[in-house]
Structure 1
């Protein structure tokens, strides 16, 4: 642990030196990450690592333990090597899931859909994309390289990323102090802190383009939906800090109640940290409102809305949402183009899309809460391993409910096709289902089509913010009107049953494992191979011995396989 602690200190110093803030505002919240020279950055990191001994940034054992408690239910379900450790892809996956589960933060560079290989974490064009590799390089030693990572390493990875985010907040907070000509060494009044944090959250959400209108709540209300509620949220965060300080210990340390009404830079940073961690929960009502409007258009519970109705909703209700262009929806993976009903927007993919992330900073985005995460958490807690039996999963998932709203709760129905698909997945992997694979995630999508996103193979979609996508991320009014006139889906959706719509047309048989099952699945397939080999040897012996059997022409009860079954397995 001594080495890990020193590595953590080094990583904090290295990453803190390169943290930065969002600088560009677009119409719908997307912010551009700055470009960086990858080679120069690598050189700076290597040089800094040689000099970064004992540079501070201690993390308490209590905090590391709290992180491990969150990670543990996920960690136990990941495939382990012979040393009971996980490999680097699993480490990245754990970090991604931790922040998504805790605060709905998507840490850039850790997305499961990003293409990586054994020697690289992905493209190195953007600074934030390099963070995972350099955090890992600091944690990695010859022992880790040979044997993998344990849960303590994973906790340190998370702690490093938390520190990176913390330092990014500090940098932006210093900028706001300077903009408002407030010395960072001077304590602020309650009103001064409120004024500071209002400016902070505006720049945090929209970048430098709002600097000219800071303090003008009328203009800010035109830029930000529900600006008045955002101000109340900021006020609530300040009150939470004040409540925390109302203790005898705090009074003694601060020198009495008079000083409790003044706020230092550290106090402001504490509030800012609370804003980052809790903003997704605060904004969730907006995400739910979006989802509710789409769900009202999904009467067959397919998790899909015809593009015509999607744009029609925007035009009819004069919505500021639901205006993304067809090409941008395709890039996000929110467009299903396989149905005979025409192009359809996939509800959970759209809600989870980068266009609906309310904050996009250099190293992370604050997005809508992933409603499939609690479902996966229940499965992981029950399965407690990397594989699950088909019967176990059917019993577990079959007893769940799909809860869109408090008034819209339905029992899960596993029809014959869903059961057959799960059986086919298990057959592909030696008789059991790997729960961290694309096929199982795809199966969950069709069981919970409004909550679990459709999973694409890595590299097929990109989580680009609107400004990263560039011009054309919004559809023109003419384009929306043209699509809205398409009535192809209206009569079938009104008159046909869900099964008759062939709504699962997007199903793909090709597997892609999010974490490494290498060695685990091979053993399962080897067992199947030995069974086949044994039967073959028996058949040869029968033929050689001249033994004859009467064939009754009976047809075995094989599970239904989709066209093209016998998929290839790929490791991300």
Structure 2
């Protein structure tokens, strides 16, 4: 995971001394006005929801660099938001990708915010008050709540489109069979995005749907399961409106598709796990890397997945071209790449679960500080393990004397302590858990772009794949 946080918080700390010149009341008024624009009803958020979200964020917030007032800057706020959605839902919100350049406008690039609530961006996130005062834990919770609502609202637009195409009036409740038909059409639109011709073809052929989407029947059953979940929830809370005797309103359908978005990654994780296991089986050296020759060889012989072009792999940050072993695919970077995100909408992507997130969360809970001494970090890391490997010995942290010395070197360059969100530490963590934690490239050197958004050939030609795979045999690559 690329570092979004400057290894040193010195420059931001200077901003803390400017708080005396900031009108805090005006900032809070702007925040509430923007929340009203985003959420309606005056921007009110249920206090218990905010408290729970703040509790969820507190450990990660504690490890971020602060100014003199104990607040984080915009860049840290963006990182915290990214971590939350990625860890909880395996979502990557457009504009919050770690690969965004640090010199790029941080919020103008956040499509879901700039498009839906420009006032929030201009009056709060880009304001002088934010620059000088920073953001506290509640501010972070409010931002995340806002984005969650905007993502939910964006789904209603697509849902209304599906209603229209199926000639179903928005005001007329649907039967169970009707909502099942609606959801199947919604899934096709959701998964294919803007490919109108592909959507038309798939909606007209169940055989083609089964051929195009792996496990289509299970996918449909998953959607139907969300209907049952709504039935159970409404039956549990007596007196709820909108659902009577197997009838489903537009609001009910909207709630169902929202549940699909939030839980889809867990449903799809079996596909991601299978892909990880195939890559790990090719990693004979336990480096978290697969020779490009093996990668393409498997793509030719056994699996349709491993066929991204070298140029696309390079842009995704999944191609290592620095070692003597030749070009290699970095396993965790590839798993997290946009090419493996099953859904790519205008506002978010649904991707594979990030195996490094639980490790980062454990570090956050144990350290609860932006800086930590090497021995303290080593004590935590040596007791950590990841259960994603095929082989037991590869699950434990790989910390030998050399790795411990490298951590000491990082600390020596920062006054004896290691910046937890510095890129050097995240590089170190990648080599400790090479199959779980992505290599952190410098911001702006990679792009989280879906295949159809890539400017070039995103699929390697059969000739290229064959030529690369032959190197495995002629050159003795392992």
- Smaller-chain TM-score range? 0.7 to 0.9
Query: Which one of the candidate residues 182, 204, 209 is aligned to 1:220?
Result: 209
8 A Cα contact 1:95 1:110, kept in partner: yes
2:36 is equivalent to residue 9 of structure 1: yes
User: Equivalents in 1 of 2:241, 2:85: separation in Å?
Assistant: 33
Q: CA deviation at 1:138?
A: 3.6
Measured against aligned partners, the alpha-carbon deviations of 1:340-365 in whole angstroms (never above 9, x if no partner) come to 11111110000000000001111111
Is 1:168 the counterpart of 2:154? The answer is yes
Q: How many residues align?
A: 445
In 1: Cα distance, 2:131 partner to 2:469 partner: 55
Q: 2:331 & 2:441 partners in 1: Cα distance?
A: 15
Whole-angstrom CA distance in 2 between matches of 1:393 and 1:192: 55
Deviation of the 1:315 alpha carbon: 1.1
Q: 2:53 aligns with which of 67, 75, 78?
A: 67
TM-score (norm 2): 0.88
Pairing partner for 1:287 from 257, 272, 275: 272
Among residues 317, 337, 343, which one is paired with 1:333 in the alignment?
317
- CA deviation map 1:80-119 (0-9, x unaligned): 11111111111111111110111011011112221133x8
Structure 1 residues 349 and 97, CA gap change in structure 2 (3 angstroms) = same
Describe how 1:439-518 pairs up with structure 2 within 5 A: 439-487=424-472, 491=476, 493=478
For 2:307, what is the secondary structure of its paired residue? coil
Contact 2:32 2:42 in 1 (8 A): no
Separation (CA, whole Å) in 2 of partners of 1:145 and 1:180: 48
Residue number in structure 2 paired with 1:79: 65
Deviations 1:481-538 (A, max 9, x none): 0000003797574xxxxxxxxxxxxxxxxxxxxxxxxxxxxxxxxxxxxxxxxxxxxx
SS at match of 1:385: coil
Q: State the shift of 1:313 in Å.
A: 0.6
Per-residue CA deviations over 1:25-51 (Å, capped at 9, x if unaligned) read: xxxxxxxxxxxxxxxxxxxxxxxxxxx
User: C-alpha separation between the residues in 1 aligned to 2:475 and 2:46?
Assistant: 59
Aligned equivalent of 2:227: 238
Contact 2:34 2:119 in 1 (8 A): no
Tell me whether 1:368 sits opposite 2:357 in the alignment. no
| Paired residues for 1:351-390 under 5 Å | 351-390=335-374
**Counterpart in 1 of 2:420?**
435
Q: For 1:99, what is the secondary structure of its paired residue?
A: helix
**SS state of the match for residue 50, structure 2?**
helix
3-state SS, counterpart of residue 248 of structure 2? coil
**Secondary structure of 1:196's aligned partner:** helix
Stretches of structure 2 lacking an aligned partner (at least 5 in a row)? 1-27
Q: Does 1:99 find its partner at 2:85?
A: yes
Partner of 1:211: 200
Aligned match for 1:193, one of 179, 189, 193:
179
In structure 2, relative to structure 1, the CA distance for the partners of 1:215 and 1:191 (3 Å cut) is farther
Between the aligned partners of 2:293 and 2:47, the Cα distance in structure 1 is: 54
The Cα shift of 1:6 comes to 2.9
Note closer, same or farther for the CA distance 1:197–1:182 as it changes in structure 2 (3 Å cut): same
How much is the aligned-residue C-alpha RMSD, in angstroms? 2.3
1:515-526 to 2 correspondences below 5 Å? none
Distance 2:30 2:321 in 1: 51
Please give the alpha-carbon distance, in whole angstroms, between the structure 1 residues aligned to 2:474 and 2:412: 36
Give the aligned partner of residue 331 of structure 2: 347
Contact 1:387 1:434 in 2 (8 A): yes
Other structure's SS at 1:345 match:
strand
Deviation of the 1:275 alpha carbon: 0.5
Distance of aligned partners of 1:61 and 1:4 in 2 relative to their CA distance in 1, 3 Å threshold: farther
**In the alignment, which residue of structure 1 is the partner of 2:401?**
416
Tell me, which stretches of 5 or more residues in structure 1 are unaligned? 13-53, 494-572
Q: TM-score, normalised by structure 1?
A: 0.74
Shift of 1:65: 1.9
Q: State the structure with more CA Rg.
A: 1
Tell me what 1:311 maps to: 296
Quick one: distance in 2 between partners of 1:139 and 1:156?
11
